[in-house]
Chains A and B, each alone.
Chain A
Amino acid sequence: MDMVNIKINGVAVSVPQGSTILEAARYAGIEIPTLCYLKKINAIGACRICVVEVKGARSLVAACVYPVNEGMEVFTNTPAVRNSRKTTLELLLSNHDKKCLSCVRSGNCELQKLCNDYGVDENKFDGAMTPSEIDDSAAHLVRNNKKCILCRRCVAACREQFVNVIGANARGFDTNIGCAFEKKLADVPCISCGQCIVACPTGALTEKDQIDEVFAAIADPKKHVVVHTAPSVRVTLGESFGMPIGSNVEGKMAAALRRLGFDKVFDTDFGADLTIMEEANEFVERVKNGGVLPMITSCSPGWVKFCETYYPDFIPNLSTCKSPQQMEGATIKTYYAQKNGIDPKDIVCVSIMPCTAKKFEVGRDNQSAAGVPDVDIALTTRELARMIERAGINFSLLPDEKFDSILGDSTGAAVIFGTSGGVMEAALRTAADWLEGKDLPSVDYHEVRGMADVKEATYKVAGMDVNVAVTSGLSNVAKLLDAVRAGEKNYHFIEVMCCPGGCINGGGQPIQPATVRNFVDVKGLRSKALYDADKDMPLRKSHQNPSIQKVYDEFYGKPGSHKAHECLHTSYVERKKY
């Protein structure tokens, strides 16, 4: 690699050619603040927070987009730089509501931190205070443009997801981020992934908070309130309490949920094992009976809605299996309710999800096995963290506890659902055993792991070559589907996750600021924690989960049975773009 030699604040540093000043400063151990810049997503040099002095340059330059060259001398901490950043922040605040006290991002807001760092006067300028209305029309998200700084990170995130329903409208003081023809978010083909929320540096975009509903249900003596937690939440929740990225807090999380007052603390991982039983069976049936191939996974509600809206010709390829969230809920409201003599109407099923699209999924048609919704309230990881804070639970001091049996019992195959490649690997572990008719010793399918855009492999199963592909992030998904449609690719089974890297990077996960996202492999660390958890599990194949076997023996019969179809499978609809 060609290197260039530069000096930053007098310190000589050698950095790869093509680096920006921002990246070069990182090599030299110097932090430059950013607001609009988000690595690989948004590099527009617009907000001017990252300005630095370059010797010989006519004016300050934006470090996030300015490439280094040989002999360059950069100064990141001069009076001119500090004054410029401070004025920029004060100008941003002139059009900002400054209601930090009640803002959900307070303490985790990039704008707030910078204002504090630079000692701004929040009332230096009286701005236009452009009028705007709060958009809370969608099931999953609230937009408050009074907190928006027009950095366009959300717009870029939406573009990266190939959805493009938000953008900058009008100009000057009227500039606002919104939808075409001033429509509400619920009236445009948003797929609810929430990547815009985790990209937002301020409180302009937040998930639709439902924790009051959950607290109310817990306080209601007539309600039996049951909770279950998605695979990836156990490796991200700790971040909300200051723990390192990739900390597995499964035991503390179970303990916290019990202390919050839930009547039962189950694990969506059981639902994930159940999903594999149904999905592996569906795949084997499709292969044997000449069904529609490639079969594509349906766990990710953002992906499902994307398929229904933008690639409706692939609806027959979607697995009819409900997602683990919905399978867990359906089993709670049918099997568990019957067994314990509880009317399903009296059960409130709460799920803790890495995902904002899950809030949309709970309201979909054909997701009510017992005649009532399978899941009543889907909370994000962030909302659970807030509940724990509000309840005064000292998370880091909690003991490790276990989930309640039997709908909290799971295998290693289930826990890896939370990362791109995990569903495929889990399905292969079971499908291969079934097709070969024996307990195969190998459980690791390394080819489908990792954070590559598309992962492909061919496995020989029962004498047949099974071509699989794994992809995540909807721009990658779109490319892959275009190739399949054009006949350039011939797969039997595709795993698709809506968010880049899978659920560990979901739109409901703890928000890491750009200062972390730009330089730390957040997805990789969270993903590794899930594979480590899988490795440590005594059972690593879904069909070997004794509790799964018990539920089939007592209730569902066998995978793909009439009963299973009634409770655990669903249908899809084509959705209009306009």
Chain B
Amino acid sequence: MQKRISTLPFKGTAEQKSKLDAVIAEHKSQPGAVMPVLQKAQDIYGYLPIEVQEMIADGLGVSLEKVYGVSTFYSQFALSPKGKYNISVCLGTACYVKGSGALLDKLVEELKIQPEECTSDGQFSLTACRCIGACGLAPVLTVNDDVYGRLLPKDIPDIIAKYRQ
């Protein structure tokens, strides 16, 4: 799946920047530094928007396209921020045959975002994941660390309401 690029405004802090600068300085002379720096940048910012990737490209003396190419190749890198509550729908085999695809569709409809996106108020983000090992509860979704199982699409609005402020 093509990664979703965040359209939300970048809210990086000076503190985050100085942390990233230190990471870049640490890896600058090392061949193949893009991967480890992207990993640590994601730890610092939670995701890898263009502003962060430009800092990495400038800092390491490589092109922005090279950084972006790596960030879109590996599934571990996110180009969109996570919300305060990240809703993750299992699309593993068991959940999928039990109808988790419909859960995801309902979430897209209710939250008005696509998978890999975050709502503009920063409250919710949506991801699709593979098996989380709770097949007995299929279909399942998680909201941060809370697990919800044996769901139908009509259960979704109540779950969202529980977290919405």
Pair from one complex? yes
Do the beta carbons of B1 and A166 come within 8 Å of each other?
no
Query: Which of these, B1, B63, B67, contacts A165 with CB under 8 Å?
Result: B63
Interface centre among A164, A171, A181 (most CB of B within 10 A): A181
Q: Does A553 contact B (CB under 8 A)?
A: no
Do the beta carbons of B50 and A170 come within 8 Å of each other?
no
Given known A-B contacts A174-B1, A174-B2, A180 and B68 have beta carbons under 8 A apart: yes
Q: Does A182 contact B (CB under 8 A)?
A: yes
Do the beta carbons of B65 and A165 come within 8 Å of each other?
yes
Do the beta carbons of A167 and B5 come within 8 Å of each other?
no
When each residue 154-170 of chain A gets 1 if its CB lies under 8 Å from chain B and 0 otherwise, what string results? 00000000001111111
Query: Which of these, B3, B53, B62, contacts A170 with CB under 8 Å?
Result: B3
Query: Which of these, B1, B65, B73, contacts A180 with CB under 8 Å?
Result: B65
* Contact residues in B for A165 (Cβ distance below 8 Å): 63, 65
Interface centre among B5, B62, B66, B67 (most CB of A within 10 A): B66
Q: Smallest CB–CB gap between B23 and chain A, Å?
A: 20
Do the beta carbons of A166 and B3 come within 8 Å of each other?
no
Nearest-CB residue, chain A, relative to B53: A180
Q: Smallest CB–CB gap between A188 and chain B, Å?
A: 8
**Which secondary structure dominates where chain A touches chain B?**
loop
Do the beta carbons of A164 and B63 come within 8 Å of each other?
yes
Q: Does B54 contact A (CB under 8 A)?
A: yes
Q: Does B9 contact A (CB under 8 A)?
A: no
In the complex, what distance in Å separates the CA atom of A166 from the CA atom of B68?
Answer: 10
In the complex, what distance in Å separates the CA atom of A533 from the CA atom of B53?
Answer: 50
Q: Does B127 contact A (CB under 8 A)?
A: no
Do the beta carbons of B3 and A180 come within 8 Å of each other?
no
* Contact residues in A for B54 (Cβ distance below 8 Å): 578
Q: Does B69 contact A (CB under 8 A)?
A: yes
Q: Does A218 contact B (CB under 8 A)?
A: no
Q: Smallest CB–CB gap between A154 and chain B, Å?
A: 12
Q: Does A179 contact B (CB under 8 A)?
A: yes
Do the beta carbons of A180 and B5 come within 8 Å of each other?
no
Given known A-B contacts A168-B69, A170-B72, A578 and B64 have beta carbons under 8 A apart: yes
In the complex, what distance in Å separates the CA atom of A165 from the CA atom of B66?
Answer: 8
Do the beta carbons of B72 and A164 come within 8 Å of each other?
no
Do the beta carbons of A169 and B1 come within 8 Å of each other?
no
* Contact residues in A for B5 (Cβ distance below 8 Å): 181-182
- Count the A residues whose beta carbon is within 8 Å of the partner chain — how many? 16
Nearest-CB residue, chain B, relative to A175: B73
Given known A-B contacts A164-B63, A170-B2, A578-B64, A181 and B69 have beta carbons under 8 A apart: no
When each residue 41-70 of chain B gets 1 if its CB lies under 8 Å from chain A and 0 otherwise, what string results? 000000000100110000000111111110
Nearest-CB residue, chain B, relative to A179: B65
Given known A-B contacts A171-B72, A578-B54, A180 and B67 have beta carbons under 8 A apart: yes
Q: Smallest CB–CB gap between A141 and chain B, Å?
A: 16
Given known A-B contacts A180-B53, A182-B5, A169 and B68 have beta carbons under 8 A apart: yes
Q: Smallest CB–CB gap between A305 and chain B, Å?
A: 16
Do the beta carbons of A169 and B63 come within 8 Å of each other?
no
Do the beta carbons of A167 and B1 come within 8 Å of each other?
no
Given known A-B contacts A180-B53, A181-B50, A167 and B2 have beta carbons under 8 A apart: no
Nearest-CB residue, chain B, relative to A169: B72
* Contact residues in A for B53 (Cβ distance below 8 Å): 180-181
Do the beta carbons of B69 and A169 come within 8 Å of each other?
yes
Q: Smallest CB–CB gap between A310 and chain B, Å?
A: 11
In the complex, what distance in Å separates the CA atom of A50 from the CA atom of B90?
Answer: 43
Q: Smallest CB–CB gap between A136 and chain B, Å?
A: 19
When each residue 513-557 of chain A gets 1 if its CB lies under 8 Å from chain B and 0 otherwise, what string results? 000000000000000000000000000000000000000000000
In the complex, what distance in Å separates the CA atom of A395 from the CA atom of B119?
Answer: 63
Q: Smallest CB–CB gap between B72 and chain A, Å?
A: 5
Query: Which of these, B62, B66, B68, B73, contacts A181 with CB under 8 Å?
Result: B68
Nearest-CB residue, chain B, relative to A170: B72
In the complex, what distance in Å separates the CA atom of A578 from the CA atom of B73?
Answer: 22
In the complex, what distance in Å separates the CA atom of A205 from the CA atom of B61?
Answer: 28
Do the beta carbons of A167 and B66 come within 8 Å of each other?
yes
In the complex, what distance in Å separates the CA atom of A168 from the CA atom of B74?
Answer: 12
Given known A-B contacts A180-B53, A181-B50, A167 and B65 have beta carbons under 8 A apart: yes
* Contact residues in B for A164 (Cβ distance below 8 Å): 62-63, 65-66
Q: Smallest CB–CB gap between B120 and chain A, Å?
A: 19
* Contact residues in A for B69 (Cβ distance below 8 Å): 167-169, 180
* Contact residues in B for A188 (Cβ distance below 8 Å): 64-65
Q: Smallest CB–CB gap between A241 and chain B, Å?
A: 37
In the complex, what distance in Å separates the CA atom of A174 from the CA atom of B54?
Answer: 23
In the complex, what distance in Å separates the CA atom of A182 from the CA atom of B69?
Answer: 10
In the complex, what distance in Å separates the CA atom of A224 from the CA atom of B53?
Answer: 51
* Contact residues in B for A180 (Cβ distance below 8 Å): 50, 53, 63-65, 67-69
Given known A-B contacts A180-B53, A181-B5, A182-B5, A171 and B65 have beta carbons under 8 A apart: no
* Contact residues in B for A577 (Cβ distance below 8 Å): 64
* Contact residues in A for B66 (Cβ distance below 8 Å): 164, 167
Interface centre among B65, B66, B72 (most CB of A within 10 A): B65
Q: Smallest CB–CB gap between A224 and chain B, Å?
A: 44
Do the beta carbons of B65 and A170 come within 8 Å of each other?
no
Interface centre among B1, B2, B54, B64 (most CB of A within 10 A): B64
* Contact residues in B for A182 (Cβ distance below 8 Å): 5
Nearest-CB residue, chain B, relative to A178: B65
Which residues from 135 to 193 on chain A have a C-beta closer than 8 Å to any C-beta of chain B? Answer: 164-171, 174, 179-182, 188
In the complex, what distance in Å separates the CA atom of A164 from the CA atom of B62?
Answer: 9
Nearest-CB residue, chain B, relative to A166: B65
Interface centre among A165, A167, A180 (most CB of B within 10 A): A180
Do the beta carbons of B73 and A171 come within 8 Å of each other?
yes
* Contact residues in A for B50 (Cβ distance below 8 Å): 180-181, 578
In the complex, what distance in Å separates the CA atom of A387 from the CA atom of B72?
Answer: 42
In the complex, what distance in Å separates the CA atom of A164 from the CA atom of B64?
Answer: 8
Nearest-CB residue, chain B, relative to A578: B54
Which residues from 174 to 219 on chain A have a C-beta closer than 8 Å to any C-beta of chain B? Answer: 174, 179-182, 188
Q: List 13 A-B contacts (CB under 8 A).
A: A164-B65, A168-B69, A170-B2, A170-B3, A170-B73, A179-B65, A180-B64, A180-B68, A180-B69, A181-B50, A181-B68, A578-B50, A578-B64
Given contacts A167-B63, A167-B65, A170-B2, 7 further A-B contacts (CB under 8 A): A165-B65, A166-B65, A167-B69, A171-B73, A174-B2, A179-B65, A180-B64
Q: Which residues of A contact B (CB under 8 A)?
A: 164-171, 174, 179-182, 188, 577-578
